């Protein structure tokens, strides 16, 4: 049987449509996934995200193992590692080190955008361009002119820009620290981060329109990140809830661990269900509490 990217994309979409964390009722997202060639954004050499028996991450080279590479691109639950140790490790062999960039798994990308729920023509700020794949899905929905994407790593930014342009997609592109956002392009209807934070950057909240939506992975004491969805109050603050368990790489400026008590986690962090969390963020900091505690 001959494998094609289009066939694998359709199968991946079918598999995700059967799960509770898939497309749900987002027909636009399902169509965008089918229309945007994910393989176009994946580098020819990527690392498998789980270590082998030797403790190293196997390299998948498109030129050496094209079938394995293409199958990996369309596995619903697998992220592919595109950078180790901020690019100091060359993608030439199995490696060890800290993951610093990836193309998130199809399932995670779909969940991220499903909760963001952008509408056509709405202005969107994306923090963390990475490969440019999520950027392309956003542009498919809102129009490229409505999307501003930020990437701190110039090499990654240049590659993503080239990949997007090759498909005729030209969003606004900023090379810089995403924690600062991009005030000149705001305020935004939607802000989404593809890198996790320990503390919601105040700049993101200031740059949201009243009623605007922020979706970002937040470090948590549960052993994984939590995807939070916050709605802006128009005064530099926002409130919302945790909507999913996820794993993302940390923004560079927030890699250093900090006590959760310093980050606004009240009570005994991780003691109750994460589904009950209420998240409030503002210019002075953030507060994460449990609804069951609030009503007692």
The residues assigned a catalytic role are 104
Report whether 91 contacts 115 (CB < 8 A).
Answer: no
Tell me the C-alpha distance between 281 and 230, whole Å.
8
Query: How far from chain centre, in Å, is Cα 34?
Result: 19
Tell me the C-alpha distance between 110 and 227, whole Å.
13
- Rg (alpha carbons) of the chain, rounded to whole number: 19
List the beta strands (DSSP E) in 37-187: 45-51, 57-61, 80-84, 99-103, 124-127, 147-151, 172-175
Q: Is the preceding omega at residue 187 within 30 degrees of 0, hence cis?
A: yes
The dihedral region occupied by 181, where left means phi > 0, alpha psi between -120 and 50, and beta the remainder, is: left
């Amino acid at each position: 049987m001959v494998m094609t990217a289009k066939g694998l994309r359709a199968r991946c979409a079918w598999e995700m449509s059967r799960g509770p964390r898939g497309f749900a009722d987002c027909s636009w997202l399902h169509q965008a996934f089918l229309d945007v060639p994910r393989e176009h954004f994946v580098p020819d050499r990527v690392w498998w995200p789980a270590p082998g028996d030797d403790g190293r991450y196997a390299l998948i080279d498109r030129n050496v193992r094209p079938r394995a590479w293409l199958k990996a691109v369309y596995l619903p639950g697998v992220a592919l590692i595109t950078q180790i140790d901020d690019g100091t490790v060359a993608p030439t062999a199995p490696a060890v080190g800290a993951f610093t960039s990836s193309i998130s798994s199809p399932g995670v990308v779909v969940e991220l955008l499903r909760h963001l729920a952008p509408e056509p023509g709405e202005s969107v700020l994306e923090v963390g361009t990475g490969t440019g794949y999520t950027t392309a899905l956003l542009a498919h929905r809102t129009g490229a002119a409505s999307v501003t994407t930020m990437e701190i790593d110039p090499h990654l930014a240049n590659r993503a820009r080239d990949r997007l342009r090759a498909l005729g997609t030209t969003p606004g592109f900023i090379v810089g620290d995403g924690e600062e956002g991009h005030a000149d392009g705001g305020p935004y209807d939607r802000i989404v981060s593809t890198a996790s934070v320990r503390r919601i950057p105040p700049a993101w909240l200031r740059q949201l329109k009243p009623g605007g939506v922020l979706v970002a992975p937040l470090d948590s004491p549960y052993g994984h990140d939590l995807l939070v969805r916050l709605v802006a109050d128009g005064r530099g603050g926002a409130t919302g809830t945790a909507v999913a368990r996820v794993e993302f790489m940390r923004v560079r400026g927030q890699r250093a661990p900090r006590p959760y008590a310093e980050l606004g986690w009240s009570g005994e962090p991780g003691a109750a269900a994460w589904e009950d969390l209420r998240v409030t963020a503002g210019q002075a900091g953030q507060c994460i509490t449990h609804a069951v505690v609030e009503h007692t």
